[in-house]
Structure 1
C-alpha cells in the first residue's frame, strides 16, 4: 500500500483547498492501493512540522497543497531523501508549479500525482535555508515584506505591495558580490537569484533559468531612478528586461554576498520574508536533490 500524505494550507491564495476532503481524494486513489492522510497547516512553519511527521510515518509521497511558501516548507524536509514531492498549486503565485507545468486545476494536479512521473530537480541553498524557485534582496524582498503585512492573498495585494515599496524606495545598502572570479560592489535596486524560470503570474526575471542545469541564474540591477523602476516593470512584463543597461545577468554555482553597512540582510526566499543577520552569506546549489512528481 502506498502512503500519500497531503499537507494543506487552508488560507492559500486561491481558496480552493476546501475541496480537498478525504471523500474527494478517495475518488482518485483506490483504497486497495493507497492510504491517504490529510493534515492542515495552521501557522508559519507548521507545514514543515507536518512533513517531518509524515516522514516518520513512512510516507512514500508528501503532497504540498498551497503556494510556493508551503511547498518550500514541505520540500525542505525531504531534500536528499527518496520521498517524492507532489504539488497541488493553490497559492497566489504558484511559480514553481507553473515552471513544472503542474495544472492549477485540482483534479488535473491530482492526476499528475497519481501518474507519478518523477523528475529530480536542483535545489538552491542560501545560508542554512533551501529555495526551489528564487531568493532575493532589495526591491523584491521589500515587496514580499509588504505583501505579508496585507490580509488578502491576491494578485491585487502584490500590486499594492509593489506600489508601497516603490514609494519607500531608498538606496542605503552597499553590497559586495563575488561570483565566477569576479567582484562587484553595488548599491543595488535588486539582487535576484533564481533556480526556476518563473516567479508566478507568468512573470519571469530569469527566463533562461532551469531546474535541471546545475546552475543558479542571477540578475543584478544596480541603483536606478524611479522612472527606470517603472521602465524595468514594463520590460519585465514583455520579457525584455535585458534592454535595461543597469540589469546584468549571470549564471554560476556559488555566490558570496557581503554587506558593507546595515545591521542585516532582508531577503525573500520563495516568496516569504526572512532576515539574515550574518555580514557574509553564501548562495549555492545542490544538484538533483529533490524528487518531484510533475
Structure 2
C-alpha cells in the first residue's frame, strides 16, 4: 500500500436495504487495486460524529468514502466541518436524496469510480432552527407522510406510494403561515412549504425546478393546494408554476411562523411539529465527488 494515500471509509451497517457486506468487500478490493490504505469506521448511532472527527484528525485522509443514506452523509459532513477533504458517496440508505439530486448512477462499480476518483463540487447546506439540511426539508403534508412512513412496515418506493395515498386522504385543513423573505412579509394558507437546497426528493420527484446546490441560495416552495391532481402533475414533472397553486422564492435567509403546530421533516427524517422556523444558507459546507457532466 502507498502509505501516503489514505482514505477513511464510513459505513452505516443498518441503513437501507442493501447488503453492506457486498459494499465493504467491493470498497476494500477497489482500494487494494488502487494501492490506497483504507481506514474503516462503522456507525453505531452513538457519538459517531466525534468518532469520525477523531479518526480524521489521526489519519488526515485525502477522501472520506460514505456508504449510507443522507443521515450518514450529514454526520460525516458535520464531523469534518471546515476541513479540506472530499467526500465520496456510495448511496446505500433508505433515503438517498442527495445522490438522486446529483444524478448518481445506480451501479456500485460506477459509484466506486466516482467516489475514489472524480472531481468535487462544493455544496451548500441549509440551517433550520440549528439543524443542518443537505437537500430538502418541509412542513405540512410531506412531513406528515414521512411520519406515517416511519411508522409503517412497508419500506422503499412502494411504502412511500402507499403512505402518499393514505396521507392525501387524511390531510387536515390548510395551515396559515407568515413568511419573512427578501424584505417581504407574506401571509398565506398552505398545505406544504418546502425549504429546498436542491431539486428532487429521494423518490426522484422534482419539487424545486430552480434548485442549485452551489449557488448560495435556497428556495421556499409554497404549495397552497395539494390534491391528487396536483400530486399527479408534480410526480410527472409538470410542476404548475403559472396557476397560483405554487409560489417559489429564492433567498439566503427566511423566517416562517405558523398559527398552529405543523409536521416538520429534514432530509427524509421526521422532526416533530414546529410553529416557528429560522432558516439560512450555509455556503460551501462540503466537497462531494460528483458524476461527470457532458
TM-score class, shorter-chain normalisation, is 0.7 to 0.9
Distance in 1 (CA, whole Å) between partners of 2:101 and 2:28 is 28
- Gap change, CA 1:19 and 1:32, over 3 Å in 2: closer
Q: Give TM-score scaled by structure 1 length.
A: 0.87
Partner of 1:261: 260
Is contact 1:122-1:195 (8 Å) kept? yes
- Gap change, CA 1:188 and 1:32, over 3 Å in 2: closer
Moved over 4 A (4+): none
Distance in 1 (CA, whole Å) between partners of 2:253 and 2:276 is 13
- Gap change, CA 1:2 and 1:203, over 3 Å in 2: same
C-alpha RMSD of matched pairs (Å): 2.3
Is contact 1:194-1:206 (8 Å) kept? yes
Is contact 1:258-1:281 (8 Å) kept? yes
Is contact 1:92-1:155 (8 Å) kept? no
Deviation, structure 1 residue 46 = 6.0
Q: Does 1:17 align with 2:20?
A: yes
Distance in 2 (CA, whole Å) between partners of 1:47 and 1:206 is 32
Partner of 2:76: 74
Equivalent residues, number = 285
Is contact 1:54-1:62 (8 Å) kept? no
Q: Does 1:111 align with 2:113?
A: yes
Matches within 5 A, 1:141-180: 141-171=143-173, 173-180=175-182
Distance in 2 (CA, whole Å) between partners of 1:240 and 1:167 is 22
Partner of 1:290: 286
* Residue-by-residue CA offset, 1:73-122 (whole Å, 9 max, x unaligned): 22233332212211101223422112223222112111112214111111
Deviation, structure 1 residue 31 = 7.6
Q: Does 1:58 align with 2:55?
A: no
**Higher strand proportion, which one?**
2
* Residue-by-residue CA offset, 1:212-254 (whole Å, 9 max, x unaligned): 11111221012x3xxx510111111222222542211111111
Partner of 1:240: 238
Distance in 1 (CA, whole Å) between partners of 2:154 and 2:13 is 13
Distance in 2 (CA, whole Å) between partners of 1:272 and 1:114 is 28
Deviation, structure 1 residue 209 = 0.5
Distance in 2 (CA, whole Å) between partners of 1:196 and 1:131 is 10
Distance in 2 (CA, whole Å) between partners of 1:101 and 1:47 is 27
Structure 1 gaps of 5+ residues are none
Deviation, structure 1 residue 202 = 2.2
Deviation, structure 1 residue 166 = 1.7
- Gap change, CA 1:260 and 1:4, over 3 Å in 2: same
Distance in 1 (CA, whole Å) between partners of 2:174 and 2:182 is 26
- Gap change, CA 1:50 and 1:166, over 3 Å in 2: farther
